[in-house]
C-alpha cells in the first residue's frame, strides 16, 4: 500500500509505502525538548562542547558531558539521563561496549534508556554493530543542528518493541513490515498438479 | 521507550524550530575559532607522532588514527568539508593492514598530513574550490563534484 507524500522542501510528490512505525516516518515532528535530560559521552572535549552548545540551543534542560568512557557508568547514573549520546571510538572502552553494558543492565540505569550513537564511523560494519548492541539510532559526523536534532527525535520517538533475549537486548531490529512466510497459504496457491 | 517523558513531549512550531536553527548557526560560528585551535593542535600532535614513525606499532597507529578521525568528524560541522574528505582518506590509509610494510602508503600518509596542514594554513573552507581540487589531485583523489550553475 502506498501514499503520496509532498516533500516539504522540494515540493515534489513522492509515493512512499504507508509508514507503519513512527520512527521511520517520512516527516519528523518538531519536538520541544525542554523536559529531556541528556548525557554526552565523547573522549574529544571539543566535540562534547559542541554538542552541549547545540543541545542548549535545542533547549534540552539538563545536559551532562563525560570525556572519560571509563567513568561513564557513574556519570550516566548521576545524570538520570533519558537520552545517552555516545561516540563509538574512544580510548579504553568503545561506545559500543558502553551501549552493550547499558542494555545488559550493567550500568545501573533502566536498560531501555534511549541511546543515540554519534560517530564518524559510519561504515556498514559499525552501523550493524551499533544496531546489534541495541542503539536506537545512529547519526554520522560531521554534525549539524538538523542531523543532531533529527537523530534525537528519532531516538526518543522510537516506539519499536523492546526485546530482551539472551542474545540481544534493545529495540526490535525488524525494520520492514514483511509478513512472515505462511506455508499453509503458499500450499493453497500452488496448482493442483504440483501437489 | 522513554515512556516516562514521551507523554509530556509537545510539538513546537516551525517558526520556533527555525529560530533554534538560526541560534545554532551562531553557536557554530562562535566555536569556529576554537575549532581552528583544535585543528592546529591535532595537526601538531600528528606531526609529533610522525617525527618518530612506528608503523608496526598498533598503539602508535591507533593514536594516529584517532587524531585523524577527530579531524574528519569535526571538519564538516565548521565548513571545512575538504578537511573531512582528506581526513576520511587518511583514516582509510591508516586502517590499511598493509601499512607497516608498504612505503608508498606511508608516503601517502605524509602527503595527507601536509594537505591537512595546507587546508589550515590557507583556510580552505568548504570544498576548497579550485585549490581544493588541486590538493585532492596531488593526493590522487577525485575532485569534488559540484552542481553546475
| Predicted confidence (pLDDT) at residue A14 exceeds the cutoff of 60 | no
High-pLDDT (> 90) share of chain B, %: 56
Average pLDDT of chain B is: 87
Q: How far apart are CA A2 and CA A175, in angstroms?
A: 17
pLDDT, tens digit, 9 for 90 and up, residues B29-79: 999 888 999 899 999 999 999 999 999 999 999 999 989 988 888 888 888
Which residue of A lies nearest to B10 if distances are taken between CA atoms?
Answer: A32
Hey, of A31, A33, A44, which one would you mutate to test binding to chain B, going by the most B CBs within 10 A of its CB? A44
**Interface touch A142/B84, C-beta < 8 Å:** yes
- What confidence tier does B143 reach under pLDDT thresholds 50, 70, 90? confident
Determine the Cα angle at A177 with ends A176 and A183, to 5°.
Answer: 115
- The confidence score (pLDDT) of residue B3 equals 52
- Determine contact: B27 vs chain A, CB below 8 A: yes
- The confidence score (pLDDT) of residue A25 equals 44
Sheet bearing A37-41, strands edge to edge: A62-66, A37-41, A83-86, A114-119, A137-140
Minimal C-alpha gap between B38 and chain A (Å) = 8
pLDDT, tens digit, 9 for 90 and up, residues A67-122: 999 999 999 999 999 999 999 988 889 999 999 999 999 999 999 999 999 988 77
- With CA atoms as reference, report the closest residue to A81 among A149, A32, A33, A119: A33
The pTM of this model reads 0.80
Enumerate the H helices of A134-182 as residue ranges: 145-156
**Interface touch A31/B12, C-beta < 8 Å:** yes
- Our separate counts of H helices and E strands in chain B read 6, 0
Which residue of A lies nearest to B19 if distances are taken between CA atoms?
Answer: A57
Residue pairs spanning A and B at CB distance below 8 A: 104
Q: Write the residue in B2, B11, B20 that is nearest to A82 by C-beta.
A: B2
The predicted model gives B114-135 an average pLDDT of 91
Amino acid at each position: 500500500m502506498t501514499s503520496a507524500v509532498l516533500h516539504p522542501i522540494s515540493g515534489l510528490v513522492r509515493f512512499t509505502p504507508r509508514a507503519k512505525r513512527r520512527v521511520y516516518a517520512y516527516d519528523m515532528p518538531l519536538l520541544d525538548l525542554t523536559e529531556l535530560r541528556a548525557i554526552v559521552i565523547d573522549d574529544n572535549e571539543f566535540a562534547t562542547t559542541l554538542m552541549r552548545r547545540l543541545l542548549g540551543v535545542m533547549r534540552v534542560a539538563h545536559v551532562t558531558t563525560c570525556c572519560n568512557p571509563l567513568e561513564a557508568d557513574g556519570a550516566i547514573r548521576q545524570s538520570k539521563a533519558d537520552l545517552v549520546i555516545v561516540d563509538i571510538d574512544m580510548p579504553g572502552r568503545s561506545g559500543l561496549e558502553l551501549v552493550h553494558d547499558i542494555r545488559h543492565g550493567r550500568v545501573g540505569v533502566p536498560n531501555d534508556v534511549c541511546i543515540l550513537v554519534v560517530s564518524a564511523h559510519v561504515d556498514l560494519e559499525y552501523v550493524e554493530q551499533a544496531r546489534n548492541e541495541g542503539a536506537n539510532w545512529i547519526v554520522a559526523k560531521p554534525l549539524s543542528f538538523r542531523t543532531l536534532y533529527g537523530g534525537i527525535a528519532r531516538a526518543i520517538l522510537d516506539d519499536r518493541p523492546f526485546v530482551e533475549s539472551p542474545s540481544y537486548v534493545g529495540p526490535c531490529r525488524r525494520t520492514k513490515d514483511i509478513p512472515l512466510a505462511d506455508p499453509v497459504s503458499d500450499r493453497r496457491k500452488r496448482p493442483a498438479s504440483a501437489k | 521507550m522513554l515512556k516516562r517523558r514521551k507523554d509530556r513531549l509537545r510539538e513546537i512550531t516551525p517558526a520556533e524550530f527555525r529560530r533554534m536553527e538560526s541560534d545554532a548557526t551562531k553557536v557554530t560560528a562562535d566555536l569556529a575559532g576554537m575549532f581552528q585551535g583544535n585543528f592546529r593542535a591535532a595537526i601538531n600532535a600528528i606531526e609529533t607522532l610522525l617525527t618518530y614513525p612506528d608503523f608496526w606499532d598498533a598503539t602508535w597507529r591507533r593514536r594516529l588514527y584517532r587524531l585523524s578521525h577527530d579531524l574528519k568528524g569535526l571538519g564538516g560541522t565548521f565548513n571545512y568539508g575538504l578537511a573531512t574528505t582528506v581526513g576520511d582518506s587518511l583514516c582509510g590509509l591508516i586502517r590499511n593492514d598493509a601499512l607497516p610494510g608498504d612505503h608508498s602508503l606511508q608516503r601517502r600518509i605524509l602527503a595527507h598530513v601536509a594537505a591537512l596542514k595546507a587546508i589550515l594554513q590557507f583556510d580552505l573552507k568548504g570544498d576548497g574550490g579550485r585549490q581544493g581540487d588541486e590538493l585532492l589531485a596531488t593526493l590522487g583523489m577525485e575532485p569534488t563534484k559540484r552542481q553546475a550553475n
